[in-house]
Structure 1
Amino acid sequence: MVALVCGGVGYAVHDREQDARARPVATATPPKHPNQGTSPPTKTAAAIAARRVAVDTILLRRSRAVRIGNERLFLQDIDPANTKLRQQQKVLFANLVEIGFGQIDYNQAEERFDAAAVRAHGSTTYLVRVLMRYQIPNVDVLPVYTELGYSFVNRGGRWIIAADNDLDKDLGPGAHQEPWDLGRLEVHRGPRVMVLVDKGDTARGRAIVTEASEALTEVAAYWPRKWRGSVLIAALDDNDVRDARFADEDIESAASAGSTFSSLPGEDSADGTVAGAYIVVNPKERDRVDEILLSHEITHVATADLGGYEPLWLAEGAAEYVSWRGIEAISGPGEVSKWEQEVIDDALPTLNALPTDAGFYQTNTDVYGVSWLAVRFLVSRIGLQPVEDLYEDLARSGTDQSARDRILLTRTGFTEASLWLALKDYHPPR
C-alpha cells in the first residue's frame, strides 16, 4: 500500500518528448554477469517514478475521503486557485457520500496527451485516464467501472489536480457523465430501488420509487427469469446522462437502460463484460414515468447481465411483452388486441424482414410493435418459458447471424427469415 506524501520532482512535457526521442529501440541484451553492477536510474526515470507515486497517493486519498466522509481530505489535492473546480468537487463529494458507495477506488490506467491542456495548465501537465471502480450496495451485484480523466500539474514540488474534464472527449460513451458527476442529487430508496433526482425534487423521487416498485412486481410476474436484483433510476434535468443522449437521436425515447461493466470495453475484451444496467429517464418525460414505462426498462435491466448478443427485435420485443402484459392487467385484453391489429395492418407491411440491429432506433417504422408481435407470436407457439430460454441462449451466444439462426432454429424451428414469413401470415385468435 502506498503511504507517501504527495510530493515529487516536476517532469515537464518537453522532458518527456526529449526522453521518448532519445530512447533507443529495444534490442535483445545479453544477461549481466552476477558480479556486474546495476546502473543507477536516470534523473528522468526517477522523476517519472516519483510522479506516479504522488498521483497514486492522491487517488488513494480521494477514495478514502469518500469512504470516511471527509470533505477536507477529498479537496486536499484540488488546485486551490481553481474555485470553479473546487465547487464542482464539493458537489461531487456530497453526491458520492449520499449515495453511500460500499466500495470505491480510483486507479491510474494510462497517460494521455492533449496539447490544449498543456497550454492551459503548463509544461508539467500530466493527463491520466483513471478507472473508478465502485459498488453501490443493493444495486450493483459486482464492482463495476467507469472512466475519468484527470489533469495533474506540479506546483512547487507538489502534484495537484488542475482539471477533471480535459480528456472527456477521448473517453468512452458516458464517461464523466454519471449521475453523481452532473449536479447536486437527492437519493430516494425503496426495496430493490434507488432513484436519483435533482436536489429538491423530492415529490418526483418518491413517486418514481412507488412506480418502480410496481414495475418490479410486473417484471417478476410476466417474465419467467428469476431475477432478484435491484434497479437504479436517474431522473435528472439533464439531456446527457451516462450514455443516454436525449438531445440527439434518442430525443423521442422516454427512457434508456445503459449497461454497467465489470470490465470496460477494450480492457480485457473488445465488448467488455456487462454486469447490469441503470435506467436514465428523458428529462422531458419525467412527469409521465409510470409502472408501464419502467416495467419495459426493468426488463432490460433484468436481462442485462446475460451477455447482450440477442437481436434487438428480441430484446425490445420481450420488454414490450412485459409492459403490455401490465397494460392488459389494468385495461383488459381489448386494448392489447387493438394494438396488435394496428401492428399487423400498419407496421408489418412497411417492412421486408424482422427489424435489424442497424438503424433500429433511427427508423420511423413501428419496430417496437413488430418486435412485440414477434415475441407474442413465439409465446403463442412454444410458450413463455421456452422464449425466455431462447433469449438467454441468444444473449450469451448469438454473436453473429449464423449463430443466431442456429439457436433460433434449434429452439423454435424458425430462422429469422422463416419467422418473418410466419409472422406475415399470423392471424391471432380473437
Structure 2
Amino acid sequence: MSATTPNTGPRRWLGLLLAVALVSGGVVYTVEQREQDARERVTASRTTPPPPKATRPSRVAAAVAARRVAVDTILLRRAKAVQLGNEQLFLADVDPANKKLVAAQKVLFANLVEIGFGEIGYSQAEERFNPAVLKAHGSTTYLVRVLMRYQIPKVDFTPVTTELGYTFVARGGHWLLTADNELDSDLGPGAHREAWDLGRIEVQRAPRVMVIVEKGDTKRGRSIVREANEGLAEVTRYWPLKWAGAVLVIALDETEVRDARFADEDIESAASTGSTFSSLPGQDTADGTVAGGYVVINPNERDRVDEILLSHELTHVATAALGGYEPLWLAEGAAEYVSWSGIEAISGPGEVGKWEQEVIDDALPQLTALPTDAGFYENSADVYGVSWLAVRYLVQRVGLAAVEQLYTDEAMNGTDQAARDRILLSRTGLTEATLWTSLATYRPQR
C-alpha cells in the first residue's frame, strides 16, 4: 500500500462504531429522561390542577374570518378598478350567471369613472339576515351592508359616506357578488339611489360646478352649468358667509334620487338639497356628521332651471356643513332672502315690495306663530313667504352680517327650542314668540 493510498481500513470502521455508540447513548438518555419526566408529571398532577387547554377557533369562526378577508379583498379590488379605469377588474368578482347584474355593473363602472372620484373605497359594516335571500341563493349566502366612502374633487371638502347592500355567494371556492339591491329597503333614505346608481349619466363641469344629466343630455347639462354659475355669484353677493365651495347639481329623469322624492305629478317643489355625511346617522353619533349637500332637480322642472331657483338651493349647500340644527323658518327664509335679492337686482324693488305685501296680507293671517319644523313642507300656508319675511325683518333690524352670524350659531348649537330661543335672544333681542308678534304688526316702509 503506498503512502498516498486513502486509509479505508479498520480505522474508518472504528470511527463509524464510535459515532453509532455516541448516538445510541444519546437516544437511550433521551428515552430515560422522558420516562423520568413523565413520572414527575404524574406526581405533580396529584397536587396541582392541569393547565387549561389552549383554545382553538371553531371551524365556523375560522370560516367567518376567511369570508371577511375574501370580501374585503373583493371590495378593495373594486375600488382599485375604479381608480385605474379597469372594467375587467371591476367585474372580476361579479357573478357571471347573473347577466342582468353584470350589465348593470358595467353601467355603474362607466358612471364612477366619468365622475372621477379623488378618493373611493368600500368597507363591510355588518352582516344582515333575510330568509328569502338565503332561500334564493343557497346556504353560502352572505348579505352585508357596505359603506362606500368617496370624495369628488372640487365638490366634497371632505370624504363622505353612503351605503349599499351586497349579496355574496361562494362558488367553486370563490366569493362572488350576485346582487346589489336585496338590502335596499333596509338601508337609510336614498341609499343605492345616488346619481351614479340610476342609469348611464353624463357629467358637465365648470370650475365650481358639476352637473349630472342622462347620457346624451348635453345641451341641458351645459345650460344648468351656466345657471349654477350665476346662482353661485348671487350666493356670494347676498350671503356674507365666507364659502369657497363648489356644487353638484343632479338633473335626471328620476323621481327618486338620493333622499329627494318627487311624485310624478309634483310641480310644486322644483328642487331639493340633500345632505352628504362624512359619518352617517347612527354610525358614530345619532345625527351623523353633515359634510355638505347636493342639489337634485325635480325632473318635471328641468326645463325651467334658472339662477333664481339655484341661488336658493346653493344657499342651502353653502350652509349645509355648519351643523343643520337651525330652525326651518331660518334655513328656508335665508335661502329665499338670497334668491329674492337676485330678483330685486333684476326687477327692482317694486316686485319684491309687491310680494312682501302679499305675504303680510294673505300668508301671515293663516298662521299663529312662526312655521315649526314639524309639517313645514306639508303646510298649505305660504311658509316660505313667512320665513322670508322673518329673515327680511331681522336683516332690517340687526343687519345682514348679524343675521348670518345668527344662522351659523343656530346651525351649530340650536339643538332644541330652548337653545334656539337663547341664541335668537342674545343676537337680536327677540325670541321666536316676540319675533312673530313683531311680524304681525310689521308695516314696511315704501
Whether these two folds match at TM > 0.5 is yes
Deviations 1:375-400 (A, max 9, x none): 00000000000000000000000000
> Distance in 2 between the 1:277 and 1:105 partners?
20
> Distance in 2 between the 1:305 and 1:59 partners?
29
Q: How does 1:236-385 map to 2 (within 5 A)?
A: 236-247=252-263, 252-385=268-401
> Distance in 1 between the 2:126 and 2:195 partners?
25
Over the residues paired in the alignment, what is the CA RMSD in angstroms?
A: 1.3
> Distance in 1 between the 2:101 and 2:292 partners?
31
Change (3 A) 1:328 1:397: same
> Distance in 2 between the 1:114 and 1:252 partners?
39
Aligned to 1:71: 87
Aligned to 1:229: 245
Contact 1:347 1:370 in 2 (8 A): yes
Q: Determine whether 1:101 maps to 2:101.
A: no
> Distance in 2 between the 1:347 and 1:284 partners?
27
Contact 1:340 1:373 in 2 (8 A): yes
* Structure 2: 5+ residue stretches without partners: 1-48
Q: Determine whether 1:394 maps to 2:410.
A: yes
Contact 1:130 1:147 in 2 (8 A): yes
Superposed displacement of residue 252, structure 1 = 2.2
Secondary structure in 2 matching 1:84: helix
Secondary structure in 2 matching 1:361: helix
Q: Determine whether 1:170 maps to 2:186.
A: yes
Superposed displacement of residue 232, structure 1 = 0.2
Change (3 A) 1:34 1:236: farther
> Distance in 2 between the 1:418 and 1:373 partners?
14
Superposed displacement of residue 40, structure 1 = 2.1
Q: Determine whether 1:151 maps to 2:167.
A: yes
Secondary structure in 1 matching 2:425: helix
> Distance in 2 between the 1:257 and 1:34 partners?
67
* Structure 1: 5+ residue stretches without partners: 1-32
Q: TM-score, normalised by structure 2?
A: 0.88
Superposed displacement of residue 39, structure 1 = 2.0
Secondary structure in 2 matching 1:127: strand
Contact 1:191 1:213 in 2 (8 A): no
Change (3 A) 1:57 1:356: same
Identity of aligned residues (%): 74
Change (3 A) 1:257 1:77: same
Contact 1:225 1:388 in 2 (8 A): yes
Residue type of the partner of 1:71?
A: E
Superposed displacement of residue 250, structure 1 = 6.7
Contact 2:267 2:301 in 1 (8 A): no
Superposed displacement of residue 113, structure 1 = 0.6
Deviations 1:152-194 (A, max 9, x none): 0111221101100000000000100000000100000002000
Moved over 6 A (4+): none
Superposed displacement of residue 248, structure 1 = 7.9
Specify which structure has the higher proportion of helix.
2
Contact 1:249 1:362 in 2 (8 A): no
Residue type of the partner of 1:320?
A: E
Deviations 1:195-226 (A, max 9, x none): 00000000000000000000000000000001
Change (3 A) 1:34 1:256: farther
Residue type of the partner of 2:232?
A: L
Contact 2:264 2:300 in 1 (8 A): no
Instruction: Report which structure shows greater RCO (CA 8 Å, sep ≥6).
Output: 1
Residue type of the partner of 1:72?
A: Q
Aligned to 2:221: 205
How many residues of Structure 1 are paired with residues of Structure 2 in the alignment? 398
Aligned to 1:42: 58
